[in-house]
């Protein structure tokens, strides 16, 4: 026991233990990384080549803000576990890479084509499990229920995007963008991933069928933008109240002038 105690106090023990801990940590990380890459590569969507090319694109265009291993920096969040859907949405709508730092990423002409976006999504998907790009059956508006989609949208989305999906202002210079003209895939991905200030609506909050119904409702709005007549920018009761107040006040002033001129 005395000899064992002396060995534990040997100055090299700490170094040996640290080396063993590093080896074990590195081994576990390698296994986990290989598992994630194998899972992404084995899917029907992504191949090992997609992941490799996506990593090259990521290092060249995204690592400055998100880190070489997508671990995140002070300028950008970690992308480990965000999933392919988040990448497909952010890159596919031109929000990423950001043109400049600001309150939120702005929609602009996209920098990458469909194939490159696909490859970037494959690489990020290989880093950890996350929401996937939706399947076509979840985007088929011919199978959706616009009436139910309106109920879901009004209960969960209208407070920011307004009832017509035209968007609106939020606090501290932020805004909810218009949903008119946005593709079915990107609307679905936004609900799944919660970009910018938007909450995440996973399948427990809004089912895939309800998401499809919401998309169906929004696409119906695009076809019939103003069922009630003059839409006033689809900004809701504020613009409508302002119009009524302005017209009403003008009528009162005109009537008062008319009465005054009659009495004279």
Contact yes or no for 83/68 (Cβ under 8 A): no
**How many whole angstroms separate alpha carbon 238 and alpha carbon 234?**
10
Instruction: Find out whether 66 is annotated in a ligand binding site.
Output: yes
First to last CA, the chain: 120
Helices (H), 43-82: 48-61, 63-66
Instruction: Find out whether 160 is annotated in a ligand binding site.
Output: yes
Residue located via tokens 């939120």: 104
Instruction: Find out whether 161 is annotated in a ligand binding site.
Output: yes
Ramachandran assignment for 63, one of left (phi > 0), alpha (psi -120 to 50 degrees), beta (any other): alpha
Backbone phi, psi, residue 60, to 5°: -75, -30
Instruction: Find out whether 10 is annotated in a ligand binding site.
Output: no
Instruction: Find out whether 62 is annotated in a ligand binding site.
Output: yes
**How many whole angstroms separate alpha carbon 51 and alpha carbon 75?**
24
Instruction: Find out whether 138 is annotated in a ligand binding site.
Output: no
Q: What is the SS3 string spanning 135-189? A: CHHHCCHHHCCHHHHHHHHHHHCHHHHCCCCCCEECCCCCEECCCCCCCHHHHHH
The angle at the Cα of 123, spanning 118 to 129, to the nearest 5 degrees, equals: 105
- Which neighbouring-strand residues pair with 169? 175
Binding site for heme c, by residue number, is 62, 65-66, 157, 160-161
Binding site, by residue number, is 62, 65-66, 157, 160-161
């Amino acid at each position: 026991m005395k000899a064992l105690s002396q060995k534990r106090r040997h100055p090299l023990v700490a170094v040996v233990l640290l080396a063993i801990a590093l080896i074990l940590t590195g081994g576990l990380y390698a296994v986990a990384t290989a598992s994630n890459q194998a899972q992404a590569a084995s899917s029907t969507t992504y191949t090992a080549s997609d992941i490799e090319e996506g990593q090259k694109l990521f290092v060249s265009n995204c690592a400055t803000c998100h880190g070489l291993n997508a671990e995140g920096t002070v300028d950008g969040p970690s992308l480990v576990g965000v999933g392919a859907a988040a990448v497909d949405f952010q890159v596919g709508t031109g929000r990423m890479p950001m043109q400049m730092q600001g309150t939120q990423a702005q929609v602009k002409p996209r920098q990458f084509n469909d194939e490159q976006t696909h490859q970037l999504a494959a690489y990020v998907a290989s880093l950890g499990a996350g929401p996937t790009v939706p399947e076509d059956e979840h985007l088929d508006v011919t199978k959706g229920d616009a009436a139910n989609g309106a109920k879901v949208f009004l209960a969960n989305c209208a407070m920011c995007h307004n009832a017509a999906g035209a968007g609106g202002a939020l606090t501290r210079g932020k805004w909810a963008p218009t949903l008119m003209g946005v593709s079915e895939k990107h609307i679905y991905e936004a609900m799944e991933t919660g970009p910018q200030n938007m909450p995440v609506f996973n399948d427990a909050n809004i089912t895939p069928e309800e998401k499809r119904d919401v998309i169906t409702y929004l696409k119906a709005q695009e076809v019939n933008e103003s069922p009630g007549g003059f839409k006033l920018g689809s900004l809701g009761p504020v613009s409508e109240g302002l119009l009524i107040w302005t017209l009403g006040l003008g009528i009162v002033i005109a009537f008062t002038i008319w009465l005054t001129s009659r009495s004279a």
